[in-house]
A and B are shown apart, each in its own frame.
Chain A
Amino acid sequence: MDTINIKIDNKNFQVPKGATILDAAKSVGINIPTLCYLNLHDLNTINKPAGCRICVVEVKGRKNLVPACATECVAGMEILNQTVRVLNSRKTVLELILSDHPTDCLICTKNGHCDLQSMAMNLGIREIHYKGEQSHYIKDTSPAIIRDMDKCIVCRRCVTMCNDVQTVGALSAINRGFMSVVAPAFEMNLEDSPCTYCGQCVAVCPTAALTEVDHTNKVIRELANPKKTVVVQTAPAVRAALGEEFGYEPGTLVTGKMAAALRDLGFDYVFDTDFAADLTIMEESAELLDRITRHLNGDETVKLPMLTSCCPGWVNFFEQHFPEMKDIPSTARSPQQMFGSIAKTYFADKLGIKREDMVVVSIMPCLAKKYESQREEFATNGNPDVDYSLTTRELARLIKQANIDFDSIEPQDFDHPMGESSGAGVIFGTTGGVIEAAVRTAYEVFTKEKLHKVEFQQLRGMDWIRETTIDFNGTPIRIGIAHGLGNARKLLEEIRDGKSHYHAIEIMACPGGCIGGGGQPFHHGDTNILLARQKALYAADKAKVIRKSHENPAIQKLYREFLGSPMSKKAHELLHTQYFDKSNQVEITKD
Chain B
Amino acid sequence: MIPMKISETSVAKIEEICREFDNDKGELINVLHKAQNAFGYLPEEVQKVVAQNLNTSLAQVYGVVSFYSFFTMVPKGRYPINICMGTACYVRGAERVLNEFKGLLKIKVGETTKDDKFSLSSLRCVGACGLAPVVLVGEKVYGRVTLDNVQEILDEYKETVPV
Contacts and interface: CB of A to CB of B under 8 A. Distances in A.
Q: Do A and B come from one complex?
A: yes
A404 interface: no
A586 B4 contact: yes
Interface in B58-94: 58-63, 66-67
Nearest to B58: A185
Given A169-B58, A192-B1, A586-B45, A591 B8 contact: yes
Interface stretch (A27-35, A171-179, A496-504, A531-539): A171-179
B163 interface: no
A174 B5 contact: no
A183 B57 CA distance: 12
Contacts of A584: 1-2, 4
Query: By DSSP majority rule, is chain A's interface helix, strand, loop, or mixed?
Result: loop
Contact of B59 (A185, A587, A589, A590): A185
B5 A589 contact: yes
A185 B56 CA distance: 12
Nearest to A169: B57
A186 B63 CA distance: 9
A163 B4 contact: no
B100 interface: no
Given A169-B56, A184-B59, A185-B61, A591 B9 contact: yes
A587 B8 contact: no
A172 B57 contact: yes
Interface in A553-586: 584, 586
Contacts, number: 73
Range, interface on chain B: 20 to 34
Contact of A188 (B2, B9, B63): B2
Contacts of A170: 57, 59
A163 B60 contact: yes
Nearest to B65: A174
B145 interface: no
B144 interface: no
A176 B59 CA distance: 15
A588 interface: yes
Nearest to A179: B66
B11 interface: yes
Given A174-B63, A590-B7, 15 more contacts: A172-B59, A172-B63, A174-B62, A184-B59, A185-B44, A186-B2, A192-B1, A584-B4, A586-B5, A586-B49, A587-B4, A587-B5, A588-B5, A588-B7, A589-B5
Interface of B: 1-9, 11, 44-45, 47-49, 56-63, 66-67
